[in-house]
Structure formats: structure tokens, C-alpha cells
Structure 1
């Protein structure tokens, strides 16, 4: 039973918000994607450079979002920022993409990753087995387990924000400490010969094929290779903005959202870069690039701990992905709540249940994410999401310039760091990345763009059937 008069309860402290940022960012990517990055760039220097440039982009975006979060400390986050800076259509296209691709497909990808590593401990959950054969669709035990985890976390978050907060803080602290431990043991197992060999030609950019052969790039193709390599690192660094969606439940949001964005992204960026430096001191580039099923962290852990390494990493990734999905599930439903309040989503998503959370939004998100679990491979989802996400990040950061002209007298308790230089640099870098990705990896970038544009007729259909959008107060600044 829902109660339309129920209000969000501000119960998340700065530490909780920071754990949401860090926990939503760290899923399975850091343990896997370095293999594909290494195949694209072929050298240790460029491997670290890809993570550095991604970290710079993430930090720049997070510091820029601080200004917007302080201006609009309400549920919905990025959806609200885009609506205020541009118009309701742009806000809706983000919310539509968020529901159809960005959040739900990410939840699915992280859920499937959880299941894949569970299979290391319990082989009956292997993705190579068939649990259900429908003829046109074969469903693996891994997919079923991913669905089960998504449903379980939805149930937990449906019980109230405090339930979700406890799970988030415990699992995020556990994986941060575990990652730091892995880094420490990795440097203890440091191999000087491997390190020297890996860094001898640190800036020799080339392709490492899966058969172990090397291929050279032309100048233009080299730039495209770097963009292709960044797909993995951007996916691994994404979802830092989830804390903005849950602003209505954060204590002192005008201060704590911006701070949590800065702290969370800095912590994760530092851990990611140090982890990859550690990889190059334990495994040869060949072993990183050709790790079985791209599971670099498993290969590293086996070098450090021997046979037990597989179990250790499997447990670490299970903790990591479980906590990551909890943060994604918790935050996502708040966007649908804000859209529903504008008459642009299912009406029931705009009300809170007796536990003061958007229960209907949580369950409709759960349903769509479960459908994504059955849809395809981890890499397919990763490529599609990265392109669409960066497009909306660019639009949102450009919105800072628009809002400074459109609403010059609005209260800005926090201002974007490095304005206007850093926001402009991010937009230029993001634009370059998107153009190169369309050119060199079109198969899974165009589908994401098409899904986004498909929201245009949906928006006009919804707008025609409600007068809320015409009457919305677009200058409501809390």
C-alpha cells in the first residue's frame, strides 16, 4: 500500500553518500576490462594513460556536478538538471535512456558478473550450462542467479532507505578494504623482471591480438584504439552520479552531495590507477591481454596466492558486484519518481510506499533489468551504455554555462571547480570520445543512440496526455 503524503526521509550522512558514490562505481570492471584495454593499446604506459584520462574525466565531471547538486538538492539528480538547463524534452530523453539502457542494463551487466564469479565457487551456476531451453532462447543458471540477486536487492531497498544504506556501507567498506589488501599483496609479489619487460617500451602503441600476434596502427587508427580502450575504463568508472538521484534523502544535501562526489570519485580513481600499476608488476602484458575470459584479477591473484587465488578473487568480486548493484537499484528509482511527478512516467512511480521509498519505481526497474539479463553479453551492454552516458554527461556539464546565464541570481552554495576551463575540457574530451566510438565501434553505439531518440515520440505522446509538463515550474530552486 502506498501513501502519497509520505515524504522522503533525510537519513543519509556524508559517509553514507560517499559510500554510495564509491560503491556504485566499483563493480566488476576493474577486475576484467584491463585485458581489453591492453589488447587495444599494447603497452603498460598506454594502459595506465587510459585509466588516468578516464579518472581525470570522471573527477572533472563530478566536481562540475557539485554546483548543480547544490542548486537542485532534490530527488532525480541529472534528470532535474537537464530539465532546468534545457527543457522538459531533454530531461525526459535522459530519463528514458536511463530507464531503458543506462541504469537497467548496468544493473543487468553487474548482476551477470556476480553470477559468473559465483560459478567459480559453485560450478552449477556456470554461464556455459543451460537451465531453461525455450528454443528461441537458452537461459543459463548464471542469468537466473543474476535475476535472483536483482530481485533480492529490490526487496531490501523496498523496505526503506535505511535498509539499503546498511547494505551499501557494509559492502562498500568490505570491497575497498579487500581491494587495498589485493594491491598490498600484489606489490609484495612484485616481479622486477616482469615490471622491466612491461615498461621497457611503455609508449609503443600497437594492437595485441588474442592469438598473441602484434599489429601496428596508422596514426588515425591509433586514436580510435585509445577511444575503444576507454570504453571499458569509462564503464568501470560510471555511476558516480547516482548519489544525485537520492538527494532528497541526504542530510544537508547542498553541502554533502558535492563533497561525496569529490571524495568518492577521488578514492575510486586512485584505487583503479594503483591496481593497474600493480597488475603490470605481477603479470606480463601478454598475460594481462590474454587472461582467460578477460579475468585479469583472477590471474593476478593466482600468481599471488596460488590455487586459493581464484577463490579469493571470486569472493571479492561477488562482494563488489553485490554492493554495486545495491547502490544502482537504490538510486535509480528516484529518477522515475521525479519523472512521474512531471507526468512523464507511470503515475504510480510518483508515490512513495509506507517505507518512504518509491516502491513501484523499484519494481518496474527490477522487471526491466531482469529482462536485460536475458538479452546478451556483458561487452555488448558495456559498449552501448558508455556512449549514451558520456553524451548526457556532456549535455549536463554544458548546462552549467546555460544556467549561469539563465538563472544568474540562483543560490550556488558550491561552484564548479576550474570553471570555465575544466568543464570545457571535459566537453571537448567527451565529444572526441563519442565521435571516435561511433567511427570505430558502431555496432553497439548506434543502438544506444537510436534507443535515446526513440524517446522523442514517447515524450510527445505523454505530453499530449498531460498538462503537467506545460505548467511545470522550471525555476523551482530549493
Structure 2
């Protein structure tokens, strides 16, 4: 998860270069990269879902503060793993070293069928929701837009028409501009809500589901593992960069939710399908809604393109490592793309659009689909830190988790609670996601049988 929403250029480089990384990133560089990775399109969708679970304005803000705290605890755990075991495989390598090839295979399988493809579809539904604010295409407009976006961007990647760096920068600028505009106008607005916000507390189950949505928007800090080995003076700057970046992200998320609450009120915010567009519509009418929807739709396409690009390369790597999937490990020399991996990834994403359509909750269904699997492997990542500390007591650790073992145990406890919440308080999407991962188990045994036979 995140399950993530945005994958950095540094991850792409990490997957394709074998040479050891150089410590070339300053503290401001690291902070800017982590913030850029984390803040994605989800923040334009999840606040409404969180508000629907909250009993008051204070509860909404408390959820987002807790999300920042959980992200910081997890980030320092990942920082130790990344700096101690620098490897292009990232989490795949940590799990393989701690638990063996079987668990690592299931992670790679889950990333291909659930986590990465679910993230692509989730972004596609955000695009569809906001594109529908501009021009609606019938009853299933968000799903139609989502399918078109996946098919188009997958095709462009297959024929080799990749976005340039300047294009990605412009798309990021559109996202930042949209956030700033919503914050400024929302905070200066007078609430249009006619119904008073309820003051009762949320139930324990509701809190768990709300945190699943919150941490979806914080998803991506785990990708900081790919830059930790490149930070100058990492023993000192690793923790500082995480503190600064998580602090900035938490501040931005609090401001955007304050803007929504002030401009719409809790009830209208909770009932919104495109909360940023509804806020702008209440302030500037339809032109305002159209403008912000266009900005968000464009920036979401950029995030989708990056996720499709890096996701296909993960599938290609899986095909290289496991003979059962060797057909995915073929690289098309001209125009230099993993064509088969891109086609398979696109087909899975389109199937997930169909799943979101039949449940009539496209974005929420994708959260349900990815969340249990995402938090299960996050839990295993936290446990792997404890296992590897015991297994490799003498290995050099450039960065050590503070307050060990309390910090990783706290992270594991949070992951366990969110895994429970994502299974108990979600819908049919969660069941499908778990079954898809479980389908990888017989494939694992079949791959082992083929290997022994050879």
C-alpha cells in the first residue's frame, strides 16, 4: 500500500543499476524526495472517507496526526533495514534474508497482482472521479475514465513514449498548485454546512477503518528505503530527513483537512465523491470545480504513468528470478520496454476496474483490495528487523532504530491492528485480495517442483 501511491525516479534507477550507490544527497534533497514520494493523489479522495468514519472535527484532525506518528515509527524501522542491507530488491531482499525465498516470492506475487496493480487502479479511479466532474460519460463514468487511462498509458509505455523529466515536474507542480489553492480558499471560506457536526466519538471499529484510509495517503514513506544509502552523513541525516519530511507532510495534511472542514463542514465533506471539487464549487461555482478537477486529473495521470512504468519492471524482475514466470522476464529491445510485463499488468488493472465497478465503490474497493495484503507484508517487514537483529548481531548498522526493541514492536503492533481492521471492517475487495495472494502458494510449490525437475 500505499500501498503507495507515487514511486520515485530513484527506485527506477535502483532497479536497473548494479553499481553501489553514492552518498550524493544532501539533507534538503532527501526531505524534498520523501515529501514528493508521499504526497500523491490520495489526499484528494481519502479525507471524505475519513470524515465519514469520524464523529467530530477533532476526530478527523486526530486521525491525521496519528497517521504522521505511525509513519514516522515505520520509517525509522525501514531506515535501519535499508542502510544495513542495501539491495536493489528492497523489501523483497529483507524478507528473503529473514524468512527465505518462499515468503519473498509471495511478496513479489502480491506486488504484481495486488499492491502495485491495485495502486494503479486506485489512481485510475481518482482520475475518473475528477474527470467526471469536467465531463460525465454516463452512469459508470469514473470506471470508463479509469479503464481508458490504464489502457492509454499502458500502450504509451509499450511503444516507448515515456514522459520526460520536465513533464513529470509540470504534473507535480499541478498537484502542489491544487493543494495550495484548496488550502488557501478553504481556510478563508465560511462553512456552507447547514447541519451541525456531531460530537459523539467514533467506535473502535470505525477508528480502525479511518486509519486504513489515513495511512493510504501517507503511503510511500517506505520508498525512502531506496534513498537511504545515498544520503550524505546518513548516521546523522537519515533520522533528521525523516523527522522533517514526515513533519511537513503531516502539516500539509492537517491544513488540507482544515480547509475541507471549514469550507464544507463535516457532513458535506463526508458525503462528497470529489471533495476538492465540491469545495471549489461551493466557493467559485462550476468554473472553480472544473479548474481544480482538471489540475487533479492531470497530476493523477502523472502518478499513474510512474506507477505503471516502475510496476512493469518489478514484474520483469519476477520473471527473471522464477522460471514459472519467465515469459514476463523478456525485454523488448526496440523500443526497450518489458512488453509482456506491461501487457499483463494492464490486464490485471483493467480486471480490477471491473471489480470496482460491480461493487459500485471503485476507490474504496481498491483500498479494501490492497490494504490487508499491504499491512500483512508491512508486518512481516517489521518482524524481519527483529529477526535480522538477532541473526546478524555483528553486522555494521549505519543507522540503528532508536529505543530498540520498543520501536519495531510498536510498529508491528500497529501493523497487526491495521491488518485486523482491513480484514474486519472492509468489503468484498479485501476477500478478493487475500484470495489472489493465496493463489500464489500453489504457484510457489509448482515453481519449486519445476526447478527440482530441471
Superposed pair shares fold, TM > 0.5: yes
- In 1, the alpha carbon distance for the partners of 2:373 and 2:322 equals 24
- In 2, the alpha carbon distance for the partners of 1:186 and 1:357 equals 44
Change (3 A) 1:393 1:263: farther
Among candidates 382, 387, 395, match of residue 380 of structure 2? 395
The answer to whether structure 1 residue 41 and structure 2 residue 41 are counterparts is no
The answer to whether structure 1 residue 374 and structure 2 residue 340 are counterparts is no
Change (3 A) 1:242 1:351: farther
Counterpart in the other structure of 1:306: 285
Report deviation, 1:253.
9.9
Would the aligned equivalents of 2:92 and 2:108 in 1 still touch at CA under 8 Å? yes
Counterpart in the other structure of 2:396: 411
Would the aligned equivalents of 2:158 and 2:337 in 1 still touch at CA under 8 Å? no
- In 2, the alpha carbon distance for the partners of 1:69 and 1:406 equals 16
Among candidates 125, 128, 146, match of residue 140 of structure 2? 128
Matched ranges for 1:278-357 at <5 A: 278-291=259-272, 294-343=273-322, 346-347=325-326, 349-350=328-329
Counterpart in the other structure of 2:414: 429
Taking structure 1 as the reference length, the TM-score comes to: 0.77
Counterpart in the other structure of 1:231: 212
Would the aligned equivalents of 2:238 and 2:399 in 1 still touch at CA under 8 Å? no
- In 1, the alpha carbon distance for the partners of 2:408 and 2:418 equals 15
Residue 402 of structure 1: SS of its match in structure 2? helix
The answer to whether structure 1 residue 452 and structure 2 residue 448 are counterparts is no
Would the aligned equivalents of 1:143 and 1:374 in 2 still touch at CA under 8 Å? no
Counterpart in the other structure of 2:258: 277
Report deviation, 1:104.
0.3
Would the aligned equivalents of 1:243 and 1:331 in 2 still touch at CA under 8 Å? no
Among candidates 409, 421, 443, match of residue 428 of structure 2? 443
Report deviation, 1:235.
2.3
Among candidates 340, 345, 369, match of residue 365 of structure 1? 345
Report deviation, 1:267.
3.7
CA RMSD of aligned residues (A): 3.8
Deviation beyond 4 Å, 4+ runs, structure 1: 6-24, 163-167, 193-198, 250-266, 348-360
- In 1, the alpha carbon distance for the partners of 2:387 and 2:327 equals 33
- In 2, the alpha carbon distance for the partners of 1:313 and 1:232 equals 22
Counterpart in the other structure of 1:181: 181
Counterpart in the other structure of 1:82: 95
Report deviation, 1:25.
3.7
- In 2, the alpha carbon distance for the partners of 1:8 and 1:367 equals 30
Report deviation, 1:68.
1.6
Taking structure 2 as the reference length, the TM-score comes to: 0.80
Change (3 A) 1:259 1:70: farther
- In 2, the alpha carbon distance for the partners of 1:327 and 1:253 equals 26
- In 2, the alpha carbon distance for the partners of 1:349 and 1:243 equals 27
Counterpart in the other structure of 1:217: none
- In 1, the alpha carbon distance for the partners of 2:405 and 2:264 equals 41
Residue 398 of structure 1: SS of its match in structure 2? helix
Unaligned runs of 5+ residues in structure 1 are 1-5, 130-138, 207-221, 471-478
Report deviation, 1:183.
1.1
**Cα distance per residue 1:357-378 (max 9 Å; x no partner):** 7565444323322332233222
Matched ranges for 1:56-95 at <5 A: 56-95=69-108
**Cα distance per residue 1:296-354 (max 9 Å; x no partner):** 22222223333322112202321331232233223323433443343266225446665
Would the aligned equivalents of 2:368 and 2:422 in 1 still touch at CA under 8 Å? no
Among candidates 89, 98, 112, match of residue 125 of structure 2? 112
- In 2, the alpha carbon distance for the partners of 1:359 and 1:75 equals 22
Report deviation, 1:92.
1.1
Report deviation, 1:173.
3.7
The answer to whether structure 1 residue 148 and structure 2 residue 133 are counterparts is no
- In 1, the alpha carbon distance for the partners of 2:100 and 2:165 equals 33
The answer to whether structure 1 residue 172 and structure 2 residue 172 are counterparts is yes
Would the aligned equivalents of 1:297 and 1:313 in 2 still touch at CA under 8 Å? yes
Counterpart in the other structure of 2:12: none
- In 1, the alpha carbon distance for the partners of 2:232 and 2:348 equals 30
Which has the higher mean CA deviation after the structures are superposed, 315-324 or 400-409? 315-324
- In 2, the alpha carbon distance for the partners of 1:146 and 1:33 equals 21
Would the aligned equivalents of 1:76 and 1:335 in 2 still touch at CA under 8 Å? no
The answer to whether structure 1 residue 205 and structure 2 residue 209 are counterparts is no
Report deviation, 1:63.
2.2
Matched ranges for 1:461-476 at <5 A: 461-466=446-451
